DNA sequence: CAGAATCCACTGTGATACTG
DNA sequence: CAGTATCACAGTGGATTCTG
């Protein structure tokens, strides 16, 4: 039994952006979407190289993003084969979100690092 | 050896918002920050109830957020004891990010769900 | 090159029980 | 009430190998 079932809590009522967060900020999804939103179509191996992700997880995430309509796959049955991934219009609609995050990073991330350094309580690092 | 070390890829160069994403969108952090940014100080047990999280994980995340300066803890050594958590100024600086996410959710999440429903390729659901 | 398939190690998560 | 401690489990990610 999950904690939610036990307590009868409603996570969605508590935080309405959680579904989007699960979608957009799971492992590897952000770097993929960010990279594709910055450049044109990118080959599979090139994504692998730039992000430092292994083929397996990259494939998993790309399939998921394709299913969700955020990324489009173009396959060319050449020899050797070529697969290019491109962001969709729906994917581009994330620009304001990413822009807000990038600005927050520039403005406030240093303050976080400073707070972390001067923190003395429990919890290592 | 990690994939990054193997390939010599630089994740930060590939995606400059990743550090902020790790900070803000790890499990439970978003609901915590969202909840605290919407109301005043909230008691520990009340957070537990609203989010449906168990005490253990909640404590872990709250300590981390406190260390990073996003949340402040107020402890009252009464009987029974009381602990209240409140968002900090730094935490409040996230408002534009959350607002952008909430707007994207309203505008585009339905399109994602539609794409998912009409998706026929591999990958279940 | 693109990716599927296997195996494995690790971590996060949660349930539970306990303390002040 | 507000945690801490312990244990067990599942899911994820990664390394490796193989195919068209």
Q: What are the tens digits of pLDDT across the range A31-79?
A: 999 999 999 999 999 999 999 999 999 999 999 999 999 999 999 999 8
Quick check: A57 CB within 7 A of strand D?
Answer: yes
**From residue B98, how far is each of A23, B94, B95 by CA, in Å?**
15, 6, 5
pTM of the model as a whole:
0.92
Residue B34 in tokens? 């969202």
Contacts of B97 in chain A (CB under 8 A): 97, 100-101, 104
Which range (A23-27, A97-101, A119-123, B32-36) has the least confidence?
A119-123
User: What pLDDT shows up at residue B11?
Assistant: 76
Q: Are B120 and A69 in contact (CB under 8 A)?
A: no
Say whether A68 and B116 touch across the interface (CB within 8 A). yes
Q: List residues bridging with A82 in a β-sheet.
A: A76
Residue with the bigger pLDDT between A124 and A122: it is A122
CA distance B79 to chain A (A): 23
User: What pLDDT shows up at residue A87?
Assistant: 97
Residue A74, SS3 per DSSP: strand
A26 φψ region: left (φ > 0), alpha (ψ -120 to 50), beta (else): beta
Please say if the pLDDT value at position B125 is more than 60: no
User: What pLDDT shows up at residue A121?
Assistant: 77
Residue A122: count of CB within 10 angstroms of its CB: 9
The mean pLDDT value of chain B amounts to 90
Please say if the pLDDT value at position B110 is more than 90: yes
Residue with the bigger pLDDT between A24 and B1: it is A24
Query: Which of strand D's nucleotides are less than 7 A from any protein C-beta?
Result: 1-6, 12-17, 20
Residue A77 in tokens? 């049955």
**HEC profile for A5-40?**
HHHCCCHHHHCCCHHHHHHHCCCCHHHHHHHHHHCC
The closest nt to A3, taking CA to C1', is C14
Contacts of A99 in chain B (CB under 8 A): 100
**From residue B30, how far is each of B45, B58, B122 by CA, in Å?**
18, 12, 30
**From residue B38, how far is each of A16, A119, A124 by CA, in Å?**
12, 25, 29
CA distance A95 to chain B (A): 10
């Amino acid at each position: 039994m999950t904690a939610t079932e036990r307590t009868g809590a409603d996570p969605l009522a508590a935080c309405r952006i959680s579904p989007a967060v699960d979608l957009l900020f799971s492992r590897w999804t952000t770097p993929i979407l960010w990279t594709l939103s910055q450049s044109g179509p990118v080959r599979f191996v090139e994504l692998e190289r730039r992000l430092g992700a292994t083929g397996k997880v990259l494939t998993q995430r790309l399939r998921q993003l394709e299913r969700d309509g955020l990324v489009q796959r173009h396959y060319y049955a050449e020899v050797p084969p070529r697969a290019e991934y491109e962001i969709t219009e729906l994917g581009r609609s994330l620009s304001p979100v990413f822009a807000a995050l990038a600005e927050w990073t520039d403005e406030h991330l240093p303050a976080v690092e400073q707070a972390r350094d001067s923190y003395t309580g429990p919890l290592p690092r």
